[in-house]
Structure 1
Amino acid sequence: MRTKPPSAKNPSIVRYTRNTFTQELMAWVMLLRSEWKWALVIVVGMFFLLVFTKPLPPRDVHLAVGQEGSKFELIGKKFIPYLADQGISLHLIHTKGSAANIATLADPKSSVDAALAVGGVASKGQYPQLQSLGSIEYIPLWIFYRGKAIQGSGAYQFFSTKRVAIGNIGSASATVLEKLLALTGITLEKQPNFLQIPDKEAIEKLLAGEIDAICIMDSINAPNVQTLLKAKDLNILNFPLAPAYVKKLPFFSAVVLPMGGLDLKAARPSQDIKLLASSGVLLVDKAMHPAIQQAFLIAANEVAKSDEQFFATPEFFPAYIDYSIPESPTAKRFYDQGPPLFADQIPLWLINYLDRIWLLALGGFAVIYPLFKLFPSYRRLRSVMLIEEGYEKIQSIENLFLNSNGVYELEKLIDQLNQLDKESVGWSVSSEEMNRLYTMKSALNLVKQQIYLQLQVASKEG
């Protein structure tokens, strides 16, 4: 009784895809086994590339904010949740003032990574290792004093005999006032009545009548300034020559506290008051991770939007307006193009890393892509290599056979062919090259038959 031959299975794209994937995987496994040294070199190279490009920013950042009760301290506190959203813990560091903030940031032994300071405290080129992320708001120079309102330009004569608190050594008020007075030939060393004491202590002494005036640089919304503005018996010095000072000291801007700006009903102040104002600048070490810089810029942008900008038009800040410290490339790009795309959905460190690595990845792709074009799949390439090596061995054995007549030599050649035939059974060959494998096996058997015939002749002659 004849048995019916088994029917062929219908072709299946799933089975074909699975077999193709399995063959490819096996080929790469064999590649790793045979070329593991090169694979190790690649892995080590990628590791050092990651270390060199620093994809992850540090988790802790320290921001110098100056004295307690200052607007910089309030801004620093508002920055904390924005950086926390990026997994960064922001720690506020108090100092004696803006100059101390900058000096601490510039100190390589310091742990401070960023600083809020008043523009103009640092001279151009003084701190080449620092960069600016821009200004956040105007910081006026306030001079509150007791007594009759000063009219005209007799302020220097009036204050030359008064007890005036100008802030700590290194504070913005003391540093900027020194530059301001130098334009008229006055030095702080020759003014023993100018007292260098902390702002909080000076405010208490002024309100208690122990001193006559206080010079302070801070935002109009700062707690210290608000305390002084609420005092009914204090006057604010008017700077009628403010535009002239701006020409001499470009970090200054001329701003106006308008009549009724503090209390519209009571018309406080009773007239427009011209003030000199610098700006609050966010400074960073130039080596700071770009992702942290972006987090600071986003925070500064949101804080500027939420805060009432008394002296500036809406959405003017943040902006790069103080040129004492060079602008950070990250800040320039932020101001030109806005926040990174998908900043709300993707961590800033990842956006930043992809942005920095794309050029390197493009260069690598330019080298690797042609190789993939030459070798579409390694499994097929490996199959071709195995079969070509098999042909080379067969040809080598055939050449030896043509020059061999002894029985022992011929038997050795047959053993080599049998060994090659046995090895080829275990080869993982892609389906595309299967026909070449069996063609190679046919060639192997043909050479083997020729050697057997010669072996029979040699055996008879022997």
Structure 2
Amino acid sequence: MPKSLRLILLSLRDLLVSAGPVLALAVGLLMAAYWWLDPQPPTRVVLATGPADSAYANFGRRYAKALEADGIEVVEKRTDGSLDNLTLLRRGDVDVAFVRGGSADPAADEEAGLVSLGALFYEPLWIFVRKDAVPAAAASGQGAGALVQLKNLRVNVDKSGSGVPQLVDQLLRANHLDPATMKLSHLEPAPAAEALLGGMLDAVVLASAPQSRQVQQLLRAPDVLLMDVQQAEAYVRRFGYLQSVTLPRGVVDLAADLPPHDVTLLAATTSLLSREQTHPALRELFAKSAQSIHSAGGWFNRARDFPNTRTSELPVSPEGDRAINGTPPFWQRYLPFWASNLFERMWLVLGGLLVLMLPLSRVVPPLYQFRVRSRVFRWYARLRDIEQRGGAGDTPEPLLRELDELEARVNKVTVPLSYANELYELRAHIRAARLRLTAHAEVAP
């Protein structure tokens, strides 16, 4: 190996050994911070959606596709609806869920660690009635307009897990109607729609976004009317989680002029809820995906009305608020999800580590200097011992042989060029000691 290369490698070795303790401390602190902060989220998350072909199920597929691009597998859990989703979320069986306004208990669920990732869309209460069940209303061209008209009809209010029966129960009791005395059934939306079209039911109550297949089907059915809730503002005043929304004339089908007039509906706001135990990066990723999935205009809202943090019943998590209302950090535009998330979770630790390492790094140069100079200094102890024995009257010849051996070993010592002067000084001192011993040997006879 060339001598110059050997000197370079030797210097690097000395530097690494000198900086080793500081580097080991930095790596240890970094590993401890990584373990404590857990910056990388799990690659699998469970999302509670709803019945097949429901709006919840359709949106669930879109979230799964959006998060798949970032390497996250979204497991879609089919449920009966909003109330079922909330129950699963409370038990910890799912990580994220669609929940309709009015389903949650704000005080208890907040204490249980449930948070909102933002309100996503209006979920109207669709009340479809057969024309032959309300002939007077059908003849007027305006359709049914009050819930009391459902009193003697065969009405389907969806399964209990959907939350619709509980909502309808509150509305009926506000009209002094006892649900126990009414002809209520609890079919799922698809068979209920078929039963309504077949004449086996008089009315069907659905709570769903307009994207639902059953809603689209019944809106176009010629023998079915959509109830225009004329007392909508009164319900909104009584029930804080409800909103009054308008289905504009012709929005369903402009050519067929469906509906033929503006229809007022009651609607709740559906939010995306999560558990506090769900990884913060996943919560932020869901909220970011909501921006692209729900930001378009619809039948009941303008573009950019959703997602929002204004109409959530539960507190909005910091990740949801930042994704919806804040400006994303610049690095998110250039880094992949895993790298962006790692930097975001660890940058404070890295900054603190840098502040800690700056004063500790001052120890490295003295350690390096001591390590290099020790190769030279350690031979002075033997040189001094030889001189002391020569001054004490020992025979010079054995001492001269020891000096020769010492000089031979020193000639093999290698130090960086910046420390070569100390090596040459040691050699000069060895020669000076030899001269003194030689002088003593000549004087002794």
Give the TM-score of the pair, scaled to structure 2: 0.82
Q: Alpha-carbon deviation of 1:362? A: 0.7
Q: Alpha-carbon deviation of 1:397? A: 6.6
CA distance in 1, matches of 2:69, 2:234: 45
For 1:163, the equivalent position in structure 2 comes to 154
For 1:310, the equivalent position in structure 2 comes to 299
2:210 is the alignment partner of 1:210: no
For 2:260, the equivalent position in structure 1 comes to 270
For 1:8, the equivalent position in structure 2 comes to none
Q: What is the SS of the residue equivalent to 1:425?
A: coil
Is the CA contact (8 Å cut-off) linking 2:144 and 2:225 kept in structure 1?
Answer: no
Instruction: Report which stretch shifted further, 92-101 or 192-201.
Output: 192-201
RMSD between aligned residues: 3.8
The residue type paired with residue 303 of structure 1 is I
2:133 is the alignment partner of 1:144: no
CA distance in 1, matches of 2:168, 2:231: 15
Is the CA contact (8 Å cut-off) linking 1:131 and 1:328 kept in structure 2?
Answer: yes
Q: Of 177, 201, 209, which residue of structure 1 is paired with 2:191?
A: 201
Q: What is the SS of the residue equivalent to 2:409?
A: helix
5+ residue gaps, structure 1, are 1-14
The residue type paired with residue 249 of structure 1 is F
For 2:117, the equivalent position in structure 1 comes to 133
Q: Alpha-carbon deviation of 1:311? A: 0.7
Is the CA contact (8 Å cut-off) linking 1:65 and 1:101 kept in structure 2?
Answer: yes
| Per-residue deviation, residues 34-80 of structure 1 (Å, max 9, x unmatched) | x68x8666655544433333333222222111111111111111222
Trace 1:217-232 onto structure 2 (pairs within 5 A). Answer: 217-232=207-222
Is the CA contact (8 Å cut-off) linking 1:55 and 1:350 kept in structure 2?
Answer: no
Instruction: Report which stretch shifted further, 333-342 or 354-363.
Output: 333-342
Do the aligned partners of residues 444 and 282 (structure 1) sit closer, same or farther apart at CA in structure 2, a change above 3 Å counting? farther
Do the aligned partners of residues 435 and 328 (structure 1) sit closer, same or farther apart at CA in structure 2, a change above 3 Å counting? same
2:166 is the alignment partner of 1:175: yes
CA distance in 2, matches of 1:76, 1:160: 36
For 1:422, the equivalent position in structure 2 comes to 409
Do the aligned partners of residues 363 and 260 (structure 1) sit closer, same or farther apart at CA in structure 2, a change above 3 Å counting? same
Q: Alpha-carbon deviation of 1:225? A: 0.9
CA distance in 2, matches of 1:386, 1:134: 62
For 2:271, the equivalent position in structure 1 comes to 281
2:310 is the alignment partner of 1:328: no
Q: Percent of pairs identical after alignment?
A: 25
Q: What is the SS of the residue equivalent to 2:127?
A: strand
Q: Alpha-carbon deviation of 1:295? A: 2.9
2:428 is the alignment partner of 1:438: no
Is the CA contact (8 Å cut-off) linking 2:101 and 2:270 kept in structure 1?
Answer: yes
Q: Alpha-carbon deviation of 1:226? A: 0.6
CA distance in 2, matches of 1:441, 1:432: 16
Is the CA contact (8 Å cut-off) linking 1:168 and 1:196 kept in structure 2?
Answer: yes
**How many residue pairs end up in the alignment?**
433
For 2:229, the equivalent position in structure 1 comes to 239
Is the CA contact (8 Å cut-off) linking 1:163 and 1:213 kept in structure 2?
Answer: yes
| Per-residue deviation, residues 332-369 of structure 1 (Å, max 9, x unmatched) | 11123244435454221211210121111111111212
CA distance in 1, matches of 2:151, 2:433: 115
5+ residue gaps, structure 2, are none
The residue type paired with residue 105 of structure 2 is S
CA distance in 2, matches of 1:423, 1:187: 106
